[in-house]
Structure 1
Amino acid sequence: MKKQVFLEQLREVASIQGTPGQEMNVVKSLVDLFTPVADEIDVDHMGNIYAYLHGNKPGPKMMVSAHSDEIGCVVRDVDERGFIKIERTGGMIESLLVGRKVNVNGHFGVVGVKAGHLQTAEERKSIPSIHELYIDVGASSKEEVHTMGIQIGDSISYISEIEQFTNPDLVCGKAIDNRSCCVLLLELFKDLFNEKDFSGTLVGVIAVQEEVGLRGAKVATYKVNPDFALVLDTIPCADTPDSINSGYPVGIGKGPVFPALAGGSVRGNIMSPQVKNILIRYAKELDMPYQLAVMTGATTDLAAVHLEREGVLAGAVTFARRYSHSPVEVADLRDFELGFALLKRVITDVDSWGDLSFIK
């Protein structure tokens, strides 16, 4: 995988607005990108994408998935002066919304902030709730907002392009969670498409509505009914001054992360030890760094995938990101480069996986 190609593709896909339940523009773009490098493409009524590659030998059905949605908000109400009230969809954080540029269903807007000159001492130390926040789209009345084509329920997302640091391997912007893994899956399909040197069928899934309850992945896994599955996602890390002593030793630039446990006691998962051991085995064979993580405060689509039908043998390959669920998420391109090499090796060497029984 060429990092520059990955970056340019990420810039394109991350710039598209695609909040939970409103991923249609992202889905359209990804369908166009996957079509030339897949044997078949399907999109269900929810917006989940299914891209199929048939290997040159018989074998298992392997599902590799990423989610297309980004955190966001929706229009909750419009007041008589044309200011928009909002409701969150996904993990939007009030303190990061104030004073931000936003996209309101294709229209430029800003999240309002009370002038510091007018704030009391207490207000300067507090954060408005989501229901106190409002968006200014430059309209002077409710009618003008409606004339712009903005309605209750319309999508709101950050405006924040993907940019590089002085160190070009470090990138920053919105929707790195999880458009980065959508692009990683696309690059994998590009690489495997011509020779198809693997056994079985690879089903690439781009799932919707992960940020509001792993909804698309549940539907997609039931439809695909894979023999095993890998979920690709980004994961919070703790390598900054405010979290470095958290007891959660995960950082950017240290290789893919295998979350041995993710999420709480109910809405989470303990990764299949069989799949975890396979991931570690191939990382070692490739002599690449990797990280193991235990994090109860976040989860991935794996939590839904592994519970479908009679249970799916599944695991996750994730990538550390700083400043999670913000417009300035930061990731290291080298981690994705390593993840690509690992995924390709795992898939093309499936015949050598050995016995995956829980007890032997």
Structure 2
Amino acid sequence: MNSMNDWRMIEDPRKMQPAPKFPPELQSVFATLKRMTDVPSTPGFEQGIAKELVQLFKPLCDSVHVDHTGNVYGKRRGAPDGPIIYCPAHSDSVGFIVEHIEPDGYIRFYNMGMIPPFLSYGQRMRIITHQGAVYGVNASQPGHSHFNFGGVEGKYYPEELIITPNMNDQFIDVGAKTRDEALAMGIRPGQQIVYDTDLQWLGDGSTGMITCRGLDDKIGLLALVEALKILQGKDIYPTVYMVGATQEEIGLRGAGNAGILLDADLCVGVDGTISEQGPQTNNGDGVGTSPNCTLAEVCTSVGNGVYISVSDLAWGGGMAGLVGNQRINERLIKVAQAQGIKYAVEGNMQYVTSDPAAVQHTGAGGTPSVTLKVPTRYTHSSIEVCNLYDAVETAKLLAAFIETLDDQFNLAFVDIPEADHGPRKNRARY
């Protein structure tokens, strides 16, 4: 029988467990990522992920510490005359916070990190209280009554019935009928709320694809940990700080603080980036992309390896972004080519930036910075999607860049005698 035509009835779906086909070489990588994605870490609530990162960094680093703003520093010592490389990936993920409890027990909440209303609406949520997790649903309008307004096939809904409520009109139902019942569950204003979705292989796992909340930027933290594993036991010239940076989603805050503290010579950050998502339509858009965002603008693709970002720009709350340092990016490309690492170049990303955009302003004379990016579908949703092979390639490139960097690397902005040369800042010159 042709497998495409095998429509035999499955008499008891409960007994149908898909045979796992995930690549064996990714099993430990998946397990490490799960340790991190299992920990809720809404901006400002990174205590849990800080503890997890400390445990992951300790066997791989010469020293580990956590500063007062929650940044976790894993340090690998290099040569005394070597440069300092700062490698941030943010430890927070988008989420929500309890704003107040209504008299009838419903929970009003606030957005913590650029989540449009349609991504939170109708989702199952987890409120993190001192008594444990409390589960709720971001209540939606009843499907029965609204479906019938759409015609027989449900395709002709009046516009006023398909508009997603704004965030201030959404609420979470935890089954409480009064405020006192909600309080008895341990719910209080100011507690973090996360999507209730855990890490899973996408499909049967054979492609290396995964889905979860918070892959932005647990996938970046994963790359830092895997890079440290590659470097374990090897002598390196630069001193490296792998940093889990806090509160990126609400303003690149932790990374900027750490940049001031470290005054590094260069920065190579790791984060996710918007990827192509869904089949193409006739006008070149992808299903799931913004209506004004064509596939030409979303220049990364899941499964293509690590992306070396040339430029990115985010307009929310004022213009911010990073034009990556050309010397560092050129070296990253050469290293990737020499070592057969799967990579591509992100020429420009219009809608997203990351921690190195804050780091560039820190330290003596600023810090030359770039970002390595892992393509991610459906960003800031409960079902973000990445490919673990891309994360592995990212870790390989970061580790290879660090391992091969020596005193011949030249950060000179321009090749003239008046320019500072070498891999370190010329702090004594000014």
Short-chain TM bin? over 0.9
Instruction: Say how many residue pairs are matched.
Output: 359
Q: Deviations over 1:97-140 (max 9, x none)?
A: 22211111121111111213444745431110000100011222
> How far has the Cα of 1:347 moved from its partner?
0.2
Match of 2:48 among 11, 21, 25: 25
In structure 2, how many angstroms separate the alpha carbons of the residues matched to 1:355 and 1:55?
18
Partner of 1:54: 77
Q: Deviations over 1:129-179 (max 9, x none)?
A: 000100011222111222222111110110111111233411111111111
Match of 1:237 among 246, 271, 275: 275
Q: 1:281 to 1:239 in 2, by over 3 A?
A: farther
Q: Deviations over 1:259-296 (max 9, x none)?
A: 21101473111111111111111111123332222012
> Which one-letter code corresponds to 2:167 in the other structure?
I
Partner of 1:223: 261
> How far has the Cα of 1:241 moved from its partner?
2.5
> Which one-letter code corresponds to 1:333 in the other structure?
L
Q: 1:118 to 1:18 in 2, by over 3 A?
A: same
Q: Unaligned regions of 5+ residues in structure 2, if any?
A: 1-23, 150-157, 287-293, 416-430
Contact 2:88 2:242 in 1 (8 A): yes
Contact 1:57 1:198 in 2 (8 A): no
Look at both structures and tell me which one has the larger radius of gyration over its CA atoms.
Answer: 2
Map 1:1-360 to 2 at 5 A. 2-55=25-78, 58-105=81-128, 106-119=133-146, 121-164=158-201, 165-166=203-204, 167-193=206-232, 195-241=233-279, 243-244=285-286, 245-248=294-297, 249-264=299-314, 266-293=319-346, 294-309=348-363, 310-351=365-406, 354-360=409-415
Please, which moves more after superposition, 281-290 or 230-239?
Answer: 281-290
Question: Secondary structure, in 3 states, of the residue corresponding to 2:238?
Answer: strand
In structure 2, how many angstroms separate the alpha carbons of the residues matched to 1:82 and 1:252?
42
Partner of 2:155: none
> Which one-letter code corresponds to 1:247 in the other structure?
A
Contact 2:305 2:344 in 1 (8 A): yes
Give the CA RMSD over aligned residues: 1.8
Q: Deviations over 1:48-77 (max 9, x none)?
A: 111111136741111111001111111111
> Which one-letter code corresponds to 1:251 in the other structure?
S
> How far has the Cα of 1:189 moved from its partner?
2.0
> Which one-letter code corresponds to 2:230 in the other structure?
D
Contact 1:69 1:211 in 2 (8 A): yes
> Which one-letter code corresponds to 1:129 in the other structure?
N
Contact 2:79 2:239 in 1 (8 A): no
In structure 1, how many angstroms separate the alpha carbons of the residues matched to 2:80 and 2:404?
12
> Which one-letter code corresponds to 1:320 in the other structure?
P
> Which one-letter code corresponds to 1:289 in the other structure?
K
In structure 1, how many angstroms separate the alpha carbons of the residues matched to 2:383 and 2:173?
22
Contact 1:54 1:196 in 2 (8 A): no
> Which one-letter code corresponds to 1:188 in the other structure?
A
TM-score (norm 1): 0.95
Q: 1:359 to 1:236 in 2, by over 3 A?
A: same
In structure 2, how many angstroms separate the alpha carbons of the residues matched to 1:150 and 1:253?
41
Contact 2:138 2:172 in 1 (8 A): yes
Q: Deviations over 1:306-326 (max 9, x none)?
A: 111321011111110111111
In structure 2, how many angstroms separate the alpha carbons of the residues matched to 1:246 and 1:186?
32
Question: Secondary structure, in 3 states, of the residue corresponding to 2:83?
Answer: strand
In structure 2, how many angstroms separate the alpha carbons of the residues matched to 1:26 and 1:301?
17
In structure 2, how many angstroms separate the alpha carbons of the residues matched to 1:185 and 1:298?
20
Identity over aligned pairs, percent: 28
Please, which moves more after superposition, 332-341 or 315-324?
Answer: 332-341
> How far has the Cα of 1:253 moved from its partner?
0.6
Question: Secondary structure, in 3 states, of the residue corresponding to 2:300?
Answer: coil
In structure 2, how many angstroms separate the alpha carbons of the residues matched to 1:180 and 1:142?
38
Contact 1:53 1:196 in 2 (8 A): no
In structure 2, how many angstroms separate the alpha carbons of the residues matched to 1:355 and 1:217?
25
In structure 2, how many angstroms separate the alpha carbons of the residues matched to 1:93 and 1:14?
21
> Which one-letter code corresponds to 1:282 in the other structure?
V
> Which one-letter code corresponds to 1:230 in the other structure?
V
> How far has the Cα of 1:358 moved from its partner?
0.5
Q: Deviations over 1:174-214 (max 9, x none)?
A: 11111111122112223323x23211311111000000010
In structure 2, how many angstroms separate the alpha carbons of the residues matched to 1:129 and 1:349?
50
> Which one-letter code corresponds to 2:405 in the other structure?
V
